[in-house]
Amino acid sequence: MERRILVINPNRDKSCTAGIAAAMTPYARPGLARFDTIQLDDGPPAIASWCDWYRVVPPLCVAVQAEAADAYVIACVSDPGVEAVREVTDRPVFGPFRSAVLAAMARADRFGVIAFVEASKERQRRVLLSLGVEARMAATEALNLPMSALTDPEAPRAALLAAGRRLVAAGSGAVVLGCAGMAAHRAFLEAGIGVPVIEPCAAAAAQALLAVA
């Protein structure tokens, strides 16, 4: 029986949702597992603050309760509401940042993170502390660009490349993209900085696929 993995973008940006869905596509296994990607149409334009982070937690719980699936991915790289969602389902729930950090540590002793905005750093630090791996992060850089720029095919690439190079110079043996809106730029950045670049939604997709398979 084909398993359903539901991917929920907690913001309402359609281009971001499309990028998330594209990042998941290579992991689909027809007849074994499929990825269905939805968004919170009443969510914020992006998860840019703690207020945004907390605001989406109740709607995420409602969406999971309304949509039956064999596993869930909360497709924001601040991992909003993962613990709360796990209270309303007995199915596996994956946060992309947690998944990406585990993937990065499988590739390198120390990793760096390219955050969406400065405020993202503290939310991601909380996740690292919960995993007990904050010391493995060499550095973090914030792009501070709007979501519309991140999802543009070209607009953020110079900033991404500069940030990635600074992270490598700081000792990062792998780099985590710290926002789902950066998904389409993974291969470009990896080619430009010469170390593995981890796209969090793809990392969560791989872990979810293992969980249901």
- Please report, for the domain that includes residue 118, its CATH number: 3.40.50.12500
The CA–CA distances, whole Å, from 146 to 93, 105, 117, 187 equal: 28, 29, 9, 21
Q: What residues contact 53, with CB distance under 8 A and at least 6 apart?
A: 47, 78, 80, 123
d(CA 7, CA 29): 15
Rounded to an integer, the average pLDDT of 87-97 is 97
Q: Which of 48, 73, 95 is the last residue of a domain?
A: 95
Would you say 137 and 143 are in contact if contact means Cβ atoms under 8 Å apart?
Answer: no
At residue 15 the predicted structure's pLDDT band, cuts being 50, 70 and 90, is confident
Q: How many domains does the chain have?
A: 2
d(CA 181, CA 18): 9
18 occurs within a structural domain: yes
Residue 17 and residue 71 in one domain: yes
Residue 8 and residue 90 in one domain: yes
Rounded to an integer, the average pLDDT of 197-202 is 94
211 occurs within a structural domain: no
Q: Which of 44, 62, 95 is the last residue of a domain?
A: 95
At residue 46 the predicted structure's pLDDT band, cuts being 50, 70 and 90, is confident
Q: Which of 72, 95, 118 is the last residue of a domain?
A: 95
125 occurs within a structural domain: yes
Residue 148 and residue 124 in one domain: yes
87 occurs within a structural domain: yes
- At 148-199, the pLDDT tens digits run 899 898 999 999 999 999 999 999 999 999 988 898 899 999 999 999 999 9
The mean predicted confidence, pLDDT, of the chain is: 94
Residue 72 and residue 115 in one domain: no
Residue 112 and residue 50 in one domain: no
What per-residue confidence (pLDDT) applies to 87?
97
115 pLDDT above the threshold of 90: yes
Q: Provide the domain limits for residue 151.
A: 97-201
Residue 109 and residue 61 in one domain: no
**Of 42, 54, 56, nearest to 12 (Cα)?**
42
Residue 126 and residue 175 in one domain: yes
Q: Using a pLDDT cut of 90, give the percent of the chain over it.
A: 85
The dihedral through the CA atoms of 85, 44, 145, 147 has a sign that is positive
Instruction: Name the least confident of 23-27, 139-143, 161-165, 203-207.
Output: 23-27
Max CA-CA distance within the chain? 48
209 occurs within a structural domain: no
- At 47-91, the pLDDT tens digits run 888 999 999 999 999 999 999 999 999 999 999 999 999 999 999
Q: How many CB atoms sit inside 10 A of residue 25's CB?
A: 11
Q: How many CB atoms sit inside 10 A of residue 27's CB?
A: 18
52 occurs within a structural domain: yes
